[in-house]
Amino acid sequence: DTAVSQTPKYLVTQMGNDKSIKCEQNLGHDTMYWYKQDSKKFLKIMFSYNNKELIINETVPNRFSPKSPDKAHLNLHINSLELGDSAVYFCASSQRQGSTKLFFGSGTQLSVL
């Protein structure tokens, strides 16, 4: 019954590997996001999609590629993982684009060894 669910919760992998994180929301929201939270707890937006269309693409290495097959799903694929990619990645959704409440997923803790 979770509103915004993301998998996996933990991801431990070696440098150079490729990995994906999946996110789904059952709230009927139009807009979805990926945020990165570093070890200092700073929350930084990476991407935002509205009805499957990319609307925010921050300065993120092109090793990170989001994909939204439909408005309920937003996945994040990361190629050639680096040590600095270690962080907690949060998926979020909002009813519409603009100044509205964000609903966060439970986070994926990525550790790159």
Partner 1 sequence: GENVEQHPSTLSVQEGDSAVIKCTYSDSASNYFPWYKQELGKRPQLIIDIRSNVGEKKDQRIAVTLNKTAKHFSLHITETQPEDSAVYFCAAGSNDYKLSFGAGTTVTVRA
Give the interface with partner 1 as residue ranges (CB under 8 A): 31, 40-45, 48, 50, 55-56, 90, 97-102, 104-107
By C-beta, is 28 or 41 nearer to partner 1? 41
- 100: Cβ contacts below 8 Å, ≥ 6 apart: 94
Provide, rounded to whole angstroms, the least separation between the CB of residue 7 and partner 1.
14
Closest CB 99 distance from partner 1, rounded Å: 3
The closest alpha carbon to 62, from 43, 45, 47, belongs to 47
Tell me how far, at minimum, the Cβ of 48 lies from partner 1, in Å. Answer: 6
Judged by beta carbon, residue 14 or residue 28, the one nearer partner 1 is 28
Spatial CB neighbours of 16, under 8 Å, sequence gap ≥ 6: 80, 81
> What is the separation of C-alpha 43 from the centre of its chain, rounded to a whole number of angstroms?
12
